[in-house]
């Protein structure tokens, strides 16, 4: 909300107001898995709530004797103060945080599996081989570190990635209405991560 020119305190008030309104009107009882994605419902409800709040705020401002200042009359410095400094929209931030939360949850599940099997060190080493890890070592370095052959590390990493993908699909399956939606949601998640 702060990217839309709303101050931190006002953003907190609006957020609390949104959830209070959502709970007060029991809007969540209308949410059904087969009707779509929950995060899409929340995003739409938030957009509607913000638009309603803006209309309410504008209605209060109208007739209070305030004079509107055309943007053309503002100096260049004043204009840059009211323009967003970052082209990333609130929706994009929301989608990125959603994708990050899903991927973190899946990685946490995988870590728990490896830890339960007594392979926490192997998990930590294989995790470093993921493409997004900064300063990722080579498989040869991991093999030397673990006292394994490169081929054994390659196979372990292959199994690691397969299990990661399976857990990711299972996690996404919990958020969609039909099994056919899993692939679309997975493609969407990948697109969000790549942007």
pLDDT digits (tens, 9 = 90+) for 78-137: 555 555 555 678 888 888 898 999 999 999 999 999 999 999 999 999 998 987 666 778
Tell me the pLDDT band of 150, cut-offs 50, 70 and 90. very high
Eight-class DSSP state of 138? P
Instruction: Please tell me the total number of residues recorded for the chain in this structure.
Output: 195
pLDDT digits (tens, 9 = 90+) for 55-82: 776 665 555 545 555 555 556 555 555 5
Here the tokens at position 20 are 């209070």
Place of tokens 């931190």: 8
How many Å apart are CA 77 and CA 79, to the nearest integer?
Answer: 5
Residues 6+ apart with CB under 8 A from 195: 92, 96
How many Å apart are CA 71 and CA 75, to the nearest integer?
Answer: 9
Q: Is 61 exposed, middle or buried (0-12, 13-18, 19+ CB in 10 A)?
A: exposed
How many Å apart are CA 173 and CA 183, to the nearest integer?
Answer: 9
Residues 6+ apart with CB under 8 A from 127: 107, 111, 133
The structure's pTM equals 0.58
Report residue 120 CA to chain centroid gap.
27
In sign, the C-alpha dihedral spanning 111, 115, 117, 118 is positive
- What SS3 class is residue 86? coil
Tell me the pLDDT band of 23, cut-offs 50, 70 and 90. confident
Q: What does the pLDDT read at residue 16? A: 82
Task: Tell which residue, 189, 193, 188, has the closest CA to residue 131.
Answer: 193
Q: Give the domain ranges of the chain.
A: 2-82, 90-194
Under 8 Å between Cβ of 153 and 142: yes
Percent pLDDT > 70 in the chain is 74
Q: Which residue has the higher pLDDT, 39 or 66?
A: 39
Residues 6+ apart with CB under 8 A from 159: none
Q: What does the pLDDT read at residue 42? A: 77
In degrees, rounded to 5, the angle at the alpha carbon of residue 148 between the alpha carbons of residues 119 and 140 is 110
């Amino acid at each position: 909300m702060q990217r839309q020119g709303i101050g931190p305190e006002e953003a907190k008030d609006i957020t609390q107001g949104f959830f209070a309104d959502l709970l007060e009107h029991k809007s969540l009882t209308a949410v059904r898995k087969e009707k779509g994605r929950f995060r899409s419902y929340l995003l739409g409800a938030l957009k509607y709530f913000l638009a309603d709040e803006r209309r309410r705020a504008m209605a209060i401002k109208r007739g209070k004797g305030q004079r509107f200042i055309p943007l053309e009359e503002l100096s260049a410095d004043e204009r840059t103060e009211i323009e967003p400094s970052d082209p990333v929209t609130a929706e994009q931030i929301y989608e990125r945080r959603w994708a990050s939360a899903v991927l973190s949850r899946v990685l946490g599940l995988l870590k728990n599996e490896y830890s339960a099997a007594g392979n926490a060190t192997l998990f930590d080493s294989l995790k470093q081989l993921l493409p997004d890890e900064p300063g990722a070592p080579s498989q040869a370095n991991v093999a030397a570190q673990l006292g394994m052959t490169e081929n054994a590390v390659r196979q372990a990493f292959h199994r690691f990635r397969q299990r990661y993908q399976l857990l990711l699909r299972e996690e996404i399956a919990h958020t969609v209405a039909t099994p056919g939606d899993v692939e679309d949601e997975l493609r969407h998640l990948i697109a969000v991560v790549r942007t």
